[in-house]
Chains A and B, each alone.
Chain A
Amino acid sequence: SQQGEEDPQALSIQEGENATMNCSYKTSINNLQWYRQNSGRGLVHLILIRSNEREKHSGRLRVTLDTSKKSSSLLITASRAADTASYFCATDAKQAGTALIFGKGTTLSVSS
């Protein structure tokens, strides 16, 4: 079953603009992760935020986590055409082990 629900499902922006994607989940988590998938490829890990963290940065990425609302957001600043991809949040719904449950994803299209 899917744990995370992203919105929007699709997002189209111009280069240089910021892109914000949101993720909601249902059960308690140890951490939440964001992944990117370019068309026809495997997934690439972007960033991991632990349940005791509220915000994390990595380059042009900023992730927030609100465990009281069971939600997270991914902000990509100053977007580039190369950021065009699908973005998924993933949570570890199980108590132990590293199998992740993925959300439905947001498809981001950045035009130049």
Chain B
Amino acid sequence: SAVISQKPSRDICQRGTSLTIQCQVDSQVTMMFWYRQQPGQSLTLIATANQGSEATYESGFVIDKFPISRPNLTFSTLTVSNMSPEDSSIYLCSVGLGSDNSPLHFGNGTRLTVT
């Protein structure tokens, strides 16, 4: 298994500002993903964070709004840019440790409230 640390655990931000969320893993991992969970909803995949190259975004998510960095195999950041109240969600970092289709391990998430 892996220990995944996400920071901050929660934040309250003003409309129009940006927040960068950090995800640190205690071991090198190939696959790293960012999910969003809106209040009372399920998880939606935002993007796959690729080490050394641009992230792969899912439909409905764009780099200008959710820039992602992956400088190495243990760390990634997700920025929520120019926030609006609709961005209020839990943002979750997850990693895949093994071969394709292995279970994902999740951080505890970042609970973001935009006022």
A97 touches which of B43, B94, B100, B108 (Cβ 8 Å)? B100
How many B residues have CB within 8 A of the partner chain? 25
* Chain B residues near A44 (CB-CB < 8 A): 106
Per DSSP, chain B at the interface is strand
Total A-B pairs in contact (CB under 8 Å)?
A: 62
Interface size band for A: 20 to 34
Question: Smallest CB-CB separation from B41: which chain A residue?
Answer: A104
Per DSSP, chain A at the interface is loop
The yes or no answer to A24 lying at the interface (CB within 8 A) is no
* Chain B residues near A59 (CB-CB < 8 A): none
Q: Is the CB of B41 within 8 A of A98?
A: no
Within 8 A of A (CB), among B12-62: 31, 33, 35, 41-45, 48, 59
Question: Which B residues fall within an 8 A CB radius of A?
Answer: 4, 31, 33, 35, 41-45, 48, 59, 92, 94, 96, 100-109, 111
